[in-house]
């Protein structure tokens, strides 16, 4: 076939652009695969910075006893993403443990002196029976803190992480009181983050009152930079010492503190002091005196009548010759 001069062919030319684009994408995918851990670490670093920023925002509300739902929910969401993207790093689980702890506070629990006195007297069991919604959050926070410690040895020395474990042990009540006390003593409060300090003081006071470690209890009470935020009254402090001395078997010392707690107001502290005083007399083989104390208190005991009667029945079962005006047969 002859072509005229300057004649252009109408044959379609090959388009190489899609192939070039595909090769570029393939190359980028290869680079991304090869450097996937570096890229992952880059985004993980961004998330970690974001978590720290969010934590700073919510700390102020928690320190004031006013946790903000939006901030805590946002922190939890970011912490969850961080765990998914970094499942082999201890810091991921530490943030997850913190988010569970913050949610626990969001339910309405407060590290105040009233709650402190009641739980130091009854233990956590009665508290959890009244509201079991707290336990799953504490359990999850506790287990995440343990994972952080197991994955990364750094968290064996992390003050915040060890406190989260100690707090979980306090609520769960699976660890012996002496072992819990040892764990609490090992934590350096000055190294705790600000939003954890009041919880640490509260947990220390409950733990030592339950375990009978009066020396540690008095040490925490005397350190206003630790216990000051709890705003304990002198009566509440004496009540905690009385409980600690009672559980240590130091009954004379416990009685002395209990008598300083009682006053004309039939409040929780006065009622508990009277019941505990009766129990001490019972343990000292002074059952008649214990029954007399319970008989005197019973008319004004209000919603604690059942507790009074239960102790009276316990005493009478061991001293069958004793008589009482209390309605123990009803």
For 74-98, the pLDDT digits (tens) are: 999 999 999 999 999 999 999 999 9
Residue 35: predicted pLDDT: 43
Structure tokens at 221: 């009470």
* Helical pair 159-172 and 134-151, crossing angle rounded to 10 deg: 140
Q: What is the pLDDT of residues 26-82, one digit of tens each?
A: 665 555 445 444 444 444 457 788 999 999 999 989 988 889 999 999 999 999 999
Radius of gyration for the chain, computed over Cα atoms and rounded to the nearest angstrom: 31
Q: Record the tokens describing residue 66, joined without a space.
A: 């006013």
Contact 142, 169 (CB under 8 A): yes
Q: How far is it, in rounded angstroms, from Cα 161 to Cα 19?
A: 53
Residue matched to tokens 């220390």: 204
The domain of 179 spans 37-230
Domain-located, residue 162: yes
Given a contact cutoff of 8 angstroms between Cβ atoms, the answer to whether 85 and 47 are in contact is: yes
Q: How much is the pLDDT for 9?
A: 43
Q: From residue 229, how far is each of 66, 222, 240, 319 by CA, in Å?
A: 14, 13, 17, 46
The answer to whether residue 252 is domain-embedded is: no
Is residue 152 situated within a structural domain?
Answer: yes
What pLDDT score does 37 carry?
43
pLDDT attached to residue 155? 87
- Do residues 193 and 98 make contact, with C-beta atoms less than 8 angstroms apart? no
Position 306 in a domain = no
Q: Which residue ranges in the chain fall short of pLDDT 70?
A: 1-45, 330
Quote helix, strand, coil % in the chain, to nearest 5: 75, 0, 25
- The rounded distance, in Å, linking the Cα atoms of 294 and 324 is 10
DSSP letter, residue 84? H
Q: How far apart are CA 167 and CA 162, in angstroms?
A: 9
Between the alpha carbon of residue 52 and those of residues 144, 160, 180, 184, 190, the distances in Å are 18, 14, 29, 25, 19
58 Cβ neighbours under 8 A, 6+ residues apart: 67, 68, 71, 72, 75, 102, 195
Alpha-carbon distances, residue 272 vs 78, 197, 230 (angstroms): 45, 28, 21
Give pLDDT, residue 148.
Answer: 96
Axis crossing angle, helix 90-106 with helix 69-85, rounded to the nearest 10: 160
Query: DSSP letter at 7?
Result: P
Q: Decide: pTM greater than 0.95.
A: no
What is the domain count for the chain?
Answer: 1
CA-based nearest residue to 171, from 197, 212, 138, 205: 138
Give the three-class secondary structure for 329.
Answer: coil
Query: Would 175 be classed as within a structural domain?
Result: yes
- Is 195 part of a structural domain of the chain? yes
The DSSP line for 59-75 is HHHHHTT---HHHHHHH
- Kindly state whether residue 94 falls inside one of the protein's structural domains: yes
Residues 6+ apart with CB under 8 A from 197: 189, 226, 229
- List all residues 6 or more positions away from 131 whose beta carbon is below 8 Å from its beta carbon: none
Q: Is residue 178 part of a domain?
A: yes
């Amino acid at each position: 076939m002859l072509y005229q001069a300057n004649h252009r062919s109408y044959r379609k030319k090959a388009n190489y652009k899609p192939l070039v684009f595909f090769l570029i994408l393939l190359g980028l995918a290869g680079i991304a695969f090869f450097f996937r851990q570096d890229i992952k670490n880059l985004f993980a670093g961004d998330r970690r910075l974001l978590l720290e920023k969010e934590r700073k925002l919510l700390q102020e509300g928690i320190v004031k006893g006013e946790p903000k739902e939006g901030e805590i929910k946002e922190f939890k969401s970011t912490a969850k993403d961080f765990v998914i993207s970094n499942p082999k790093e201890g810091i991921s689980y530490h943030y997850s443990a913190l988010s569970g702890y913050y949610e626990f506070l969001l339910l309405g629990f407060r590290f105040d002196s009233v709650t402190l006195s009641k739980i130091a007297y009854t233990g956590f069991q009665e508290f959890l029976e009244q509201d079991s919604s707290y336990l799953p959050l504490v359990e999850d926070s506790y287990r995440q803190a343990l994972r952080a410690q197991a994955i990364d040895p750094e968290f064996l020395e992390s003050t915040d992480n060890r406190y989260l474990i100690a707090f979980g042990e306090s609520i769960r009540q699976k660890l012996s009181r002496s072992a819990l006390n040892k764990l609490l003593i090992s934590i350096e409060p000055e190294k705790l983050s600000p939003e954890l300090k009041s919880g640490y003081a509260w947990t220390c006071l409950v733990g030592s009152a339950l375990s009978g470690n009066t020396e540690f209890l008095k040490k925490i009470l005397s350190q206003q930079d630790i216990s000051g935020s709890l705003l304990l009254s002198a009566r509440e402090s004496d009540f905690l010492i009385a409980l600690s001395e009672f559980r240590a078997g130091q009954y004379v010392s416990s009685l002395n503190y209990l008598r300083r707690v009682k006053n004309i107001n039939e409040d929780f502290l006065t009622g508990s002091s009277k019941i505990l005083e009766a129990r001490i007399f019972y343990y000292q083989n002074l059952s008649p005196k214990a029954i007399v104390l319970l008989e005197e208190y019973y008319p004004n005991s209000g919603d604690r009548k059942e507790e009074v009667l239960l102790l009276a029945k316990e005493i009478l079962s061991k001293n069958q010759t004793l008589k009482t005006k209390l309605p123990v047969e009803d």
